[in-house]
Chains A and B, each alone.
Chain A
Amino acid sequence: MKQRRSYAQVLINAPYLLWAAIFILVPLFIVAYYAFTDASGAFTMANIKELANYKQTFWISIKYALIATAITFVIAYPFAYFMSKKSAAKQQMMMLLVMLPMWMNLLIRTYSWMNILERNGIINNLLGMMGLGPWKMIGTAGAVILGMVYNYLPYMILPIYTIMSKIDNSLLEAADDLGAHSFAKLRHIIWPLSLPGVISGIAMVFVPSISTFYISQKLGGGKIMLIGDTIERQIQTAYNYNLGAAISLVLMVFVLISMAVMNRFADDDGEGGGMIV
């Protein structure tokens, strides 16, 4: 009996373990292989050395992603807090309405913003009627960051709201009874309890922001190059897979390290905030 069960165990595990090894782990090594070889497959450090030319790109990408993450946090935190105080039916409805735009393809959402912001776009048309403008918005850092905030805001709201809705109200009542001010309640109860949600929110906004290429392509008007744009150009236009792999490798290592560092801050196994889509 025991024998038969362990046999079944192997049989049920084998297909996925094989799949995960070939299509999740091996590709990571292949990226490293390409990063350290040239087009003929010989070992080289040239791609890694060339990364020095992209210092500026990396810096801008990190900066924009950080600013976008900070803005989404400032909007999402009070929004999620207010939402968690509403009636159950209202909360459910509000959550659904937050998630809904996410199911519109990112390309379209971004393109639509281009229509709103461009020179002959909707905002400038409205301004024109009032005799103002036109303002140049496409091609500025503000437009790119706006695109990031817009596209990833729900990713920040969702985990923070999820964890805030679980905070036991009696804790807050007890604090009230003991004479705590609103700020004291925020600082000593709400903030520490909501921290794991904040951390998953930050990860879920920062990672796609730092690696985007479509948002910067459309709202940056071709003037702003982020890491994602550089990878896209090397792979899809220049066909320099080796340099593309080297940049991807650095991006991946950077993201994985930042996630590991952030997870240290949240002494939670990730189940509270949850990676929910």
Chain B
Amino acid sequence: MNKFFDRFLTAAVYVFLYAPLLVMVFFSFNEGRSTSVFTGFSLRWYAELFSSSDTITALKNTLVLALLSATIATVLGTMAAVGIDGMRNKWLNSAVMTTTNIPMMNPDIVTGVSLMLLFVFVGRLMGLATSLSFITLLIAHVTFNLPYVILNVMPKLRQVDRRLPEAAMDLGCTPRQAFFKVVLPSIRSGVLAAFLMAFTLSLDDFVISYYTNGSGFQTLPLMIFSMTKKTVKPDMYALSSVIFITILLLLILVNVLQARSERDAKGAK
């Protein structure tokens, strides 16, 4: 009885989870313009996709934004993790951690709206005609990436033996040298995982971008949103299938890296 229920539930959950994805991939190969009636196999939507300059621009924008925001968030977040880890003041420490958690607890729409209102407010103070731009979008992405970077790096930092950087400094390293030569190499895998996570979060974000982007800068999720306002052609499904495969490859990379760092950690013991 239990076994039957187990099999039934497991199968049902996976069918449920994958049905819409299969629909998407299936209809991206549709010959016709419909996304619910299949008329024949064709690659025309993929061909159309890669010859459309809008899509290519949006793809470039998305990648540039993800790369920049992930890089800034990783550098800033790693510094923050080191800083928070070294904080002696308990009260300050918990205040900073609570603040860090706010963007993760708050609904995305509130994070997006609150940042947008900040930018609009500052823009008005400075008398600007438009306050939203690529810069505001970048700031928003760095902001929502930061907590994830900090939470990825922090546990790695706790594993570092505190005596090591101290020993390095006793032997004449400056704190900066001690960090780059001793601490950073031992938290490398955490930093890399944080970067990849920030990168994929940024690639995938729609809600926060929707409120904080300027009109001239379109990313793929924003483009998909405006496409789904009209009747959708299979080209959007082709686009989604391509994004999905890209993210899948990135995730496999993250998993391989994590497995390798775990193996290294075991080897060290």
Contacts and interface: CB of A to CB of B under 8 A. Distances in A.
Interface of A: 1, 4-5, 8-9, 12-13, 15-17, 19-21, 23-28, 30-31, 33-34, 75, 78-79, 82-83, 94, 96-98, 100-101, 103-109, 111-113, 115-116, 118, 120-122, 125, 150, 153-154, 203, 207-208, 210-211, 213-214, 218, 228, 231-232, 235-236, 241, 244-245, 248, 251-252, 255-256, 259, 275, 277
A247 B169 CA distance: 53
Interface in B52-99: 76-77, 79-80, 82-84, 86-87, 96, 99
Contacts of B143: 19, 23-24
15 contacts: A16-B80, A24-B102, A25-B102, A30-B117, A34-B117, A82-B10, A83-B10, A101-B17, A105-B204, A108-B240, A109-B20, A109-B21, A241-B120, A255-B110, A277-B201
B118 interface: yes
A122 B114 CA distance: 39
A136 B101 CA distance: 42
Interface in B1-42: 5-6, 9-10, 13-14, 16-21, 23-24, 27, 35-37
Given A218-B228, A244-B113, A248-B110, A20 B20 contact: no
A78 B1 CA distance: 14
A251 B106 CA distance: 9
B261 interface: no
B256 interface: no
Given A103-B244, A118-B36, A251 B86 contact: no
A84 to B, nearest CB: 11
Contacts of A83: 10
Contacts of A1: 169
A28 B114 contact: yes
Q: Which of B5, B200, B232, B255 has the most CB of A within 10 A?
A: B232
B232 to A, nearest CB: 6
B197 A121 contact: no
* 5 tightest A-B CB contacts, nearest first: A211-B107, A16-B80, A112-B20, A27-B114, A13-B83
B114 A30 contact: yes
Contact of A103 (B6, B36, B117, B200): B200
Nearest to B228: A111
| Chain B residues touching A, majority SS | helix
* Dominant SS among interface residues on chain A: helix
Among B107, B151, B251, chain A packs the most CB atoms within 10 A around the CB of B107
B225 interface: yes
A248 B17 contact: no
B24 A112 contact: yes
B212 to A, nearest CB: 11
A115 B101 CA distance: 37
A49 B189 CA distance: 52
A16 B83 contact: yes
